[in-house]
Each structure stands twice: as structure tokens, then as C-alpha cells.
């Protein structure tokens, strides 16, 4: 019984560390226009509760708009188009 618990904990921890250490594979074609104006992403700045604060932050750094995106809408994403 102890061996089963130990083996389970070891297996889960190894899978977790492998998931963190694995490089991301991105084989998608990149659009040249998308590369010219990358989005700026920062945590906080009002997200996820005050999207207007995120928008104001993006305007203050010279971007055209801002919105809350990402997991749980916790990242302020600024766009330029």
C-alpha cells in the first residue's frame, strides 16, 4: 500500500515537471502583418474586474485599445490596430 502511494506521487510529480520543462511546439505559419505589431501583455492593470483601467493603461503607452484576455481574463492585452 505504501509503495502504491509512493509510486503515484512520484509519477504525478514527474509528469508535472515534464509538462513544465517541455518546449512549446509552434509549427503554424506566421503572418508578416501580425509580426510587425505585436500585442503587449501584462498582468494586472485592472484585469479581470476593471477592463476600463486596462484600456486606459494601453492608451497611456501609445496603443490603440486594451482588453482583458488569457486565463480567467487576468492579463491586460494591448493592440495597435
Q: Show the domain range for 71.
A: 38-81
Q: Which of 72, 13, 20, 12 is nearest to 48 (CA)?
A: 72
The CATH code of the domain that includes 55 is: 3.30.30
| Inter-residue contact 54 to 67 (CB < 8 Å) | yes
Burial of 79 (0-12, 13-18, 19+ CB in 10 A): middle
* Model pTM score: 0.48
pLDDT tens readout for residues 16-28:
666 565 566 666 6
Is 77 contained in some domain? yes
Q: For 15-24, 41-50, 56-65, which range has the lowest pLDDT when averaged over its residues?
A: 15-24
The structural domain count of the chain equals 1
Taking residues 2-16, report their average pLDDT.
Answer: 79
Is 57 contained in some domain? yes
Alpha-carbon distance values, 64 to 17, 19, 44, 57, 78 (Å)? 39, 36, 18, 10, 7
Is 81 contained in some domain? yes
Amino acid at each position: 500500500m505504501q509503495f502504491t502511494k509512493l509510486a503515484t506521487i512520484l509519477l504525478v510529480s514527474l509528469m508535472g515537471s515534464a509538462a513544465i520543462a517541455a518546449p512549446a511546439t509552434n509549427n503554424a505559419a506566421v503572418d508578416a502583418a501580425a509580426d510587425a505589431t505585436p500585442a503587449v501583455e501584462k498582468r494586472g492593470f485592472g484585469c479581470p474586474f476593471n477592463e476600463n483601467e486596462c484600456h486606459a493603461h494601453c492608451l497611456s503607452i501609445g496603443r490603440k485599445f486594451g482588453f482583458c484576455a488569457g486565463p480567467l481574463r487576468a492579463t491586460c492585452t494591448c493592440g495597435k490596430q
